[in-house]
A and B are shown apart, each in its own frame.
Chain A
Amino acid sequence: MQKRGIYRKAQIEHEFYYILAQLLLIVLVGFALFSFVGAISQGTLYNKNYISRDVALIIDTIYASPGDIHYVYPVDISEFIINFKKDNVEVYEELKLYEKMHPSRISYPILVDRNIALENKIVSPDLDINLKYEGFQLKIDKVGDKLIPDKNE
């Protein structure tokens, strides 16, 4: 005699696999969503964009000063490497990316003053990427007709 309802073994198995499939789908979708949000939260695009523009504006402002200036940039930039070029500021995430001139860099132009020489250099927490230390700050000194960026010791 056939029994009705879910008490038949085949029906139980079917229901089990059906629920398992739904759970698997939930896990996959959940994992994908969390990865997506995690990637957005750890993203550095905004930070690089912000720092490149901020530092470029600071250089433009310091150019205008009539005397000598010692300026320490208050934002902690331990995670980044700043390259002061002839006419722009580039921000990289890692030294290896700088060495490859990687397109993930963000740069912003500086309004160069022909009367004041900007020293072209890279400012990074440490040239060895594995030895980054916390609280690394950038300083910019204007001495006479020279602008010298460096790390603040």
Chain B
Amino acid sequence: MNKKAFIAEALVDFYSYIAFILIIIVFFLLFSIQKCSGPSEREIISSFEENNAEIILLNYLRTPILVEGKELNFAELITLISIDKEKYKNIFYQETEKFFRNLDFIKGWQIKIIEEKKPILHVIRGSDCKEYEETMPSSKGTLKVIFYECEKSLGAIGPTSL
């Protein structure tokens, strides 16, 4: 064998090492991209969280409270608000604040009441929220109660809008 053949063989070996290293780098890049995925696992857990929030809203509406010495629940109080807002709104604020104060696993929340597409009450104590709603009949048509479960709390400083 002559000198040129010897060099050519060594050169081919060198390129094969470079090619191998490049392939390994590409595979490791692919592998690290693949590690970032995992949406299906998050999907299962999020649907359970939604069930929980819906149950909280349902139970909030069924929760017994004392209004003018009578035992009612929040759903009935909201129906009364649709008839006479000024008379019952303060009791509603107090009882709702008391209700959510006991649920320390809820970071932030909002409650909005809409009657026939017009908002009549909105208590804001959180931001960055997911919404859940229930509807019920009222004297003027339909009452919608929307519960917002929020990621951030606005505390007692948060505004209460009417």
Contacts and interface: CB of A to CB of B under 8 A. Distances in A.
Interface string A1-32: 00001100000000000000000000000000
4 contacts: A5-B1, A5-B2, A6-B1, A6-B2
A153 to B, nearest CB: 30
Interface string B1-22: 1100000000000000000000
Nearest to B2: A5
Interface in A54-76: none
Interface of B is mostly: loop
Contacts of B1: 5-6
Contacts, number: 4
A5 B5 CA distance: 11
Interface of A: 5-6
Contacts of B2: 5-6
A149 B2 CA distance: 76
Interface in B63-80: none
A5 B4 CA distance: 12
Nearest to A15: B1
B141 to A, nearest CB: 31
Contacts of A5: 1-2
B66 to A, nearest CB: 33
Nearest to A4: B2
A5 B1 CA distance: 5
A80 to B, nearest CB: 21
B151 to A, nearest CB: 28
A55 to B, nearest CB: 16
B49 to A, nearest CB: 17
Contacts of A6: 1-2
A95 B120 CA distance: 66
A6 B1 CA distance: 6
Nearest to B1: A6
A52 B157 CA distance: 52
